Amino acid sequence: MIKKPEKSQFNIRVETDLLERYREYCDRHGLDPVGQIIIFMKRVVAAEYDFQVKLWDALRTEAE
């Protein structure tokens, strides 16, 4: 049997106005509010990783 990745619950506090506007935005564009947060988090993590790779490449090039 394939084991699914472990999941955690993520709770944050935001201003009511911001949350309402975000949900309205997602409704207008047919987006899943939770899914959009997950996509954003994945992009942030991926960008940090890409940044580290680029930084190391630049440092190696400079050292040569």
Q: pLDDT digit string (tens) for 17-47?
A: 999 999 999 999 999 999 999 999 899 888 8
Whether 48 is in a domain gets the answer yes
Whether 12 is in a domain gets the answer no
**Span 45-64, mean pLDDT?**
84
Q: Tokens 């993590």: give the residue.
A: 45
Rounded to whole angstroms, how far apart are CA atoms 22 and 44? 19
User: pTM of this prediction?
Assistant: 0.62
Whether 6 is in a domain gets the answer no
Per the structure, the complete domain to which residue 60 belongs is given by: 33-64
Residue 30's φ and ψ, nearest 5 degrees, are 65, 35
Whether 13 is in a domain gets the answer no
Whether 51 is in a domain gets the answer yes
Domain count, the chain: 1
